[in-house]
Amino acid sequence: MLMPKRVKWRKQHRVDPCGVATRGNEIFYGEYALVALTPGWITDRQIEAARVALTRYVKRGGKVWIRIFPDTPITKKPAETRMGSGKGNPEYWVAVVKPGRVLFEMAGVPEDMAREAMRLAGHKLSVKTKFQIREDVGQSSNREVVTADESAGDTGDE
């Protein structure tokens, strides 16, 4: 399971995942992505289950990037314990996810295969998700594309 190697403090305050994601909301590595639509916590087990679903469906093809990491501990008091006597011990780790956050990315597979793999992975998660395609696939961003026909007649001086 995913979890931090070491942390400065064992117990943290719970994070309220209100608002939208301002970081991690663009497709950075792959061609296709699974994006969160609702806020919530995604546990280390859910991330692993989704990763297994993705890699099993595409078999040996493609590459998968996990864009979230469970770095927030969730504590729990033992069963049948009276209220009080401090905060419970860390039980599991979660990644706090806001709407718009890219959860997984994938490249090197056809779109229909990536779409189905992401659908299967989305069912393993506790937030609503959508499939998204990178907008600048196959074209250079912020540059004008000049074809050979247009550049042949242009001498460069006016």
Q: For the residues 112-136, what does the mean pLDDT come to?
A: 94
- Of the candidate CATH numbers 3.90.1170.10, 3.40.50.2300, 3.30.2270.10, 1.10.3720.10, the domain formed by 39-77+88-135 belongs to 3.90.1170.10
Domains of the chain by residue range: 39-77+88-135
What burial class does residue 17 get, using C-beta atoms within 10 Å of its C-beta: 0-12 exposed, 13-18 middle, 19+ buried? buried
* Start-to-end Cα distance in the chain: 64
In angstroms, rounded to a whole number, what is the distance separating the alpha carbons of residues 78 and 75?
Answer: 10
Tokens of 16: 């309220």
Report, as an integer, the average pLDDT of 83-97: 93
pTM score, whole prediction: 0.81
Average pLDDT over the chain reads: 88
- Give the closest residue to 31 by CA, choosing from 150, 132, 102: 132
